[in-house]
Amino acid sequence: MDVPPADTASLLEVRCYFVRHRNALLVRASFSPLFVDYYLHLMEIAAKHPPELDAMLKEALVGVVMHAASRPRNERHAWTVNFQHPLANFFVTADNTTAFVTGRVFTEDIKRAERNVFYAQAQKHPEEPRLSAIEIDGVDFLKAVEQFYERSEQRLARFFEHSPEDYVLISSQPDCDLPWLEGLTAEAVRTIDKTEEISLLEQRTYHWECGCTEARIYQVLAPHARHGLEELFAGDEFLKVTCPRCGKLYRAHREQFEAWLDDEKNQ
């Protein structure tokens, strides 16, 4: 079920339609609300990406949200995509169980490789995660998602920018009219509600939220505390820990962390 967002978050509404007689799923959303909260988040963590990486991360958010919206409500999806030119890793995730969406880009300590690689994790609660990895071509993120559909999902999917920050994903379903889907143009998609019979299946809402907390940061640190807090903190009173999902900086104070460890042992 959709979870109400925090007071500071904006709702992203995603609509899913069935294209009758073509056997295709059409997903559409205007991402302006999510992008506003994404930029507010960057301001909060004092980060700014180069224009090329910023545009790619926004398309990554578009891709993962629209993919998640087309999937069952008890699934969560996380993608890590490595590009060699530009040299960067992108992480994005959309959780249908909480309606949380977040992501970030990594540019430090990225290994050189021969090909770009798309790592996808899907988890249907309460099952174990399903993992896949494929090699991809080019630097267009939405084209990379289309390759993920073709090579991992084993079906056809196409993205279109209906208008600035307004995107459409059309994916094949069983017995889809594949020549029709392959031949679609952006112009045809803009008038698809007039040329095709489409019916609304459902609406979902998402919002920018990582879900990281001080307690979750402590959980990340806990395995490193096995050799003692002195070695972990190196004489300092606190550690600076960055959330690996959204980039938010936390100060883990030694005294509070030690008290948390004691509580965990006593439970």
176, 208, 240 - which closes a domain: 208
Note down the domain range covering 87. Answer: 12-208
> Domain check: are 97 and 200 in the same one?
yes
Question: Is residue 144 one of the residues assigned to a domain?
Answer: yes
Question: Is residue 150 one of the residues assigned to a domain?
Answer: yes
Q: What angle do CA 16, 206, 219 make, to 5 degrees?
A: 135
> How many residues are recorded in the chain?
267
- Three-state DSSP state, 26: strand
Entry pTM: 0.91
> Domain check: are 63 and 163 in the same one?
yes
> Domain check: are 116 and 184 in the same one?
yes
- Each of the 267 residues of the chain gets a pLDDT tens digit; together they read 344 444 446 899 999 999 999 999 999 999 999 999 999 999 999 999 999 999 999 999 999 999 999 999 999 999 999 999 999 999 999 999 999 999 999 999 999 999 999 999 999 988 899 999 999 999 999 999 999 999 999 999 999 998 899 999 999 999 999 999 999 999 999 999 999 999 999 999 999 999 999 888 888 888 888 777 887 888 888 888 999 999 999 998 888 888 888 888 777
The half-sphere exposure of 36 on its side-chain side, counting CA atoms within 13 A, is 10
**CATH assignment at residue 145:** 3.55.30.10
> Domain check: are 187 and 238 in the same one?
no
**CATH assignment at residue 256:** 3.90.1280
> Domain check: are 122 and 143 in the same one?
yes
Question: Is residue 257 one of the residues assigned to a domain?
Answer: yes
> Are the C-beta atoms of 192 and 198 separated by less than 8 Å?
yes
Verify cis geometry, omega within 30 degrees of 0, for the bond prior to 86. yes
If one counts the domains in the chain, the total is 2
> Domain check: are 161 and 132 in the same one?
yes
Verify cis geometry, omega within 30 degrees of 0, for the bond prior to 126. yes
Who's near 229: CB < 8 A, 6+ residues apart? 254, 257, 258
